[in-house]
Amino acid sequence: MKRGLAIYAVFAYAFLHVPLLILAVFSFNASRFSVWQGFSLQWYRAVATDENLIESSLNSLIIAIVATAAATIIGTLAAYGLWKRGSAWLSGSLYLSLVTPEIVTGASLLALFQWIFRFAHLRLGMHTVILAHVGFSLAYVVVVVLARLRTFDPVLEEAALDLGATEFGAFWRVTLPYLAPAIAAAAMLALTVSIDDYVITSLVAGVDSQTLPMVIYAMARRGVNPALNAVSTLVVFGLGMLIMLSERLRRT
Amino acid sequence: MKLRNPFLAPTAILMAITMLAPLAIIVVYSLLTRGAYGGVELPWTIENFTRLWDPVYGVIFVRSFWIAAVATALCLVLGFPLAMFIARSGPRKNLYLSLVILPFWTSFLIRTYAWMFLLRDTGIVNSILQALRIIREPLPLLYNDGAVILGLVYGFLPFMVLPLYATLERLDPSLLEAAADLGARPWDTLVRVTLPLCAPGIRAGAILVFVPCLGTYLTSDLLGGSKTVLIGNLVQNQFTASRDWPFGASLSLALMAIAMVLLFAARRRGEELL
Amino acid sequence: MNRRTFLLGATATAVACSRGPRLNIFNWSDYVAPDTISNFEREFGLRVRYGTYESIPEMLAKVMSGNSGWDVIFPSAEYIQPMRDMGLLARLNHDWLPNLSNLDRQFQQPPWDPRLEWSVPYMHGATGIVYQKSLGWSPNAWSDLWDARLAGKLTMLDDPPEVFAACLKTLGYSLNSADPVQLKAAQQRAIAQKPLVRAYLNAEVRDQLVAGDVAAAQAWAVTAAQAIAAASERSDGVSVSKLAFSFPSEGFPRYADNVAILRESTRIEAAHRFIDYLLRPQVAAAIVETTHTAACNGAAQRFLPDALRSDPVLYPPAEILARGEWFAPQSAAGQRLRDRLWTEIKT
């Protein structure tokens, strides 16, 4: 069975990564169009000198990291709270945030913000984007962590309490380590959702908070643009390096 | 109840701001009339809801549900073995998990364009098939429902794999060994031991895939050639080109209501998603 | 350097960069030359933040609150009057726009803003048919797009006003029609055409035309010009393209994008300077060379290379342009009906 799974995994990973390979190959294309016409680094040069792209990448990174951190922490706490003692309206609103189409979330958040801004002298900006991102990532975090919690035996916590731990101590030292893989998975999910979000972000972003997906969307709508290939290849390469590095560190 | 439990407080506040208040606004909008150039204005009306009974919209809803269901099923079938592989891979599991996520940190739009590039008549898939003489004429791989489903599966696979992994990872291999010792064949072990144990993960994954698939519009626009209207396209249209926010609001409320009904119908005691 | 330091440093840099009021310009994507903005910044000592949008409704949603932070926007002609009615635009001060006279004569008193009080025409174009010369015949009319020979290799624009325009024109009606009878007839035409249509694509069709996947497409002139240029080869010192463009004989839509200043702007004078800068012939010519659009700036023609100046797609002769019809704003009822009919077409 293990061999079968491994073979299957190879095909599955190929399916996931082949488009990336295509993108990478064509990021070195000398021509602007989808016909290969020679090797060139011009698109990478274009990306490195594009101020817009760099600024928006930085914005995306900041937003994603802050929002993911906040959503993971708050969501984990919420999952735990819901597991201990449910809350119908909280579950309901988390459900709702999952089933609402992005355009609706975005448009209604925009309307809400604009209504609030009539009284408070604020504007759309990084803060509104981060708030929106935390909002829609929460449900994902809660779902993943809660799924893991369902397989956790409450007896373990009770045992800890019997042995003299405080409620929070039991949570911190017994439950949380058990949840670690799920929290990691949830954080990754939240990061993914945040870093690639276009619809909601484009609606609630302010003048100073253009993100990478917004810039990419604009470039991509005009047709194939190898500069985009260069961007995504760089992102994948950079992240791939990070992953390899963390794997190397883990082994030491 | 919400304030008594400190674990829930931050979430409660956030949900109130980012979910409930906007929801209230959506409900209010659905009862108003569209402004001439977007936005809303008085008078109050229920016209936006009576409009929903038009059979045109029924067809759209059904088609969207069908496509989302197929995509979800495929994600489950394709994602389960992968999740199992990762869960069993021992010390390397974080690496493999990251490799699943890695493609999704590039832009969804760019990845979709990459698929369009692959599936075109003059694209790589057709070129290879023709070179191998398997087909004579290029296959129409793009601009149909199949391409849309492919795009959806590709886009949402990690949303299925991650929750599955989270529950599979906890699965004690000795349980499976025990089943084998008792004479169960691998398939039986799968169906009667593994699947029930990771049912919460399956349900989580199914929700996380099915629901966004319902609201998708970019995929059907790009990979479907914009030839069919799904609910996502319809709603998107109302908020942008048609500038009919009230009707978009009532459409979304209908969609959300149906999705909520389905979600609650699929609940099991002690295994709720949320 | 650890992660935290890096993040702090990056944040500090970002904050520092954004200090000092910038001129915030909101434009369609791909609508300036690579150095247009940086040259402006250098010459006038101003910092610019340049954002882009993909559709007018998207832009409108942002600026309708009157508190968006943007200073300069580029609305299409049919939105000037509505935006003016909504009180979103600032009145232009012609004293600060000495280069206005550079505008082409036909744009000095455009129908949507005869005294140029609110907007300055920027780029214009038309919609027509791009096709492969290898077809062997030339689709010179909209009705040619219903020809069965094009089955599966035809694309139309994913833009309701454009598709309705083509259908209405084949029936001999105005493309701005709000008459339910005419619109329903146009809808029937679109439904009849649907089996032939490969996909509804906007600017993305350029790639497919160059690759040969698409034989004929309803396309904007700018997309056509770019596709033709990309699919051409030089032979005997002359550029020959695989693609060609035609302005349909029944009439076609014309569009014009304009530059305007938002009333909420706190940098009105700087915004004027930017508009005046755009009106310089060399600046406009540089943009045209990059984007293959047709400038409303008549004086820029001198600075264009021959190939662009005489490009029949971008600068067709006047008698062809006379067949064109400008898009006009739709009433709320008209918009409702069109939207409903469009949904039915797509279902």
Per-residue confidence in pLDDT tens, chain C, 347 aa: 456 655 555 555 554 444 457 899 999 877 888 889 989 999 999 889 888 887 787 788 788 877 788 999 999 998 999 899 889 999 999 999 999 999 998 899 999 999 999 999 999 999 999 999 999 899 999 999 999 999 889 999 988 899 999 999 999 999 999 899 999 999 999 999 999 999 898 877 888 888 888 999 999 998 898 889 888 887 777 778 899 999 999 999 999 999 999 999 989 999 999 999 999 999 999 999 888 889 999 888 889 988 888 888 888 988 898 899 999 888 878 888 888 888 888 88
A56 and A32 assigned to the same domain: no
- Neighboring chain B residues of C160 at a CB cutoff of 8 Å: 241
The label of the residue with tokens 């479907």 reads B224
Beta carbons of A218 and C17 less than 8 Å apart: no
Closest by Cα among B152, B265, B159 to B207:
B159
Q: Are A99 and A169 in contact (CB under 8 A)?
A: no
A234 and A190 assigned to the same domain: yes
The number of domains in chain A is: 2
The label of the residue with tokens 């098939």 reads B129
- CATH assignment at residue A110: 1.10.3720.10
For the segment A224-245, the average pLDDT, to the nearest whole number, is: 79
Q: Are A123 and A208 in contact (CB under 8 A)?
A: no
Token couple for B157: 């696979």
Q: Is residue A45 part of a domain?
A: no
A56 and A157 assigned to the same domain: yes
The label of the residue with tokens 């006279």 reads C101
Which one of C89, C202, C335 would you mutate to disrupt binding with B, by most B Cβ within 10 Å of its Cβ? C335
Q: Is residue A46 part of a domain?
A: no
Q: Are C47 and C20 in contact (CB under 8 A)?
A: yes
A27 and A152 assigned to the same domain: no
A165 and A140 assigned to the same domain: yes
Q: Does C332 reach chain B within 8 Å, measured CB to CB?
A: yes
Q: Is residue A227 part of a domain?
A: yes
Answer with the residue of higher pLDDT: C245 or A236: C245
Distance of CA B17 to the CA centre of its chain: 24
- Neighboring chain C residues of A127 at a CB cutoff of 8 Å: none
Token couple for A244: 């390899």
- Amino acid identity, position C89: L
A226 and A192 assigned to the same domain: yes
- Neighboring chain A residues of B162 at a CB cutoff of 8 Å: 144, 185-186, 188-189
What is the model's pLDDT at position C122? 94
Beta carbons of C343 and B59 less than 8 Å apart: no
Q: Does B154 reach chain A within 8 Å, measured CB to CB?
A: yes
- Neighboring chain C residues of B223 at a CB cutoff of 8 Å: none
A142 and A240 assigned to the same domain: yes
Q: Are C62 and C237 in contact (CB under 8 A)?
A: no
CA–CA min distance B202, chain C (Å): 33
Q: Calculate the CA dihedral of residues A241, A245, A246, A250 and round it to 10 degrees.
A: 150
Beta carbons of B25 and A90 less than 8 Å apart: no
A145 and A173 assigned to the same domain: yes
- Give the residue on A whose Cα is nearest the Cα of C206: A223
pTM of the model: 0.81
Q: Are A161 and A170 in contact (CB under 8 A)?
A: yes
A144 and A172 assigned to the same domain: yes
Beta carbons of B102 and A138 less than 8 Å apart: no
A7 and A66 assigned to the same domain: no
- Neighboring chain B residues of C60 at a CB cutoff of 8 Å: 37-38, 243
**Helix, strand or coil, per DSSP, at residue C113:** coil
Angle, helices A126-149/B145-168, rounded to nearest 10 degrees: 60
Residues 129-188 of A with CB under 8 A from B: 131-132, 134-136, 138-140, 142-144, 146-148, 150-151, 181-182, 184-186, 188
- Neighboring chain C residues of B240 at a CB cutoff of 8 Å: 55, 57-58, 61
The label of the residue with tokens 């249509």 reads C197
Q: Is residue A151 part of a domain?
A: yes
Q: Is residue A56 part of a domain?
A: yes
Residues 40-79 of A with CB under 8 A from B: 74-75, 77-78
Which H/E stretch holds residue C128?
strand C119-132
Domains of chain B, first to last: 55-266 (1.10.3720.10)
A61 and A92 assigned to the same domain: yes
Beta carbons of A97 and B113 less than 8 Å apart: no
Q: Is residue A239 part of a domain?
A: yes
What is the model's pLDDT at position B3? 47
Beta carbons of C347 and B226 less than 8 Å apart: no
For chain B, list residues with pLDDT below 50.
Answer: 1-3
What is the model's pLDDT at position A34? 62
A125 and A220 assigned to the same domain: yes
Closest by Cα among A10, A211, A186, A15 to B111:
A15
- Give the residue on B whose Cα is nearest the Cα of C85: B37
Q: Does A250 reach chain B within 8 Å, measured CB to CB?
A: yes
Range of the domain at A154: 52-251
| pLDDT digit string, tens, across residues B52-99 | 888 888 889 899 999 999 999 999 999 999 998 998 888 888 888 888
Q: Does B251 reach chain C within 8 Å, measured CB to CB?
A: no
Q: Is residue A207 part of a domain?
A: yes
Q: Count other C-beta atoms under 10 Å from residue C145's C-beta.
A: 23
What is the DSSP-derived secondary structure letter of residue C121? E
Q: Is residue A47 part of a domain?
A: no
Q: Does B180 reach chain A within 8 Å, measured CB to CB?
A: no
CA–CA min distance A163, chain B (Å): 23
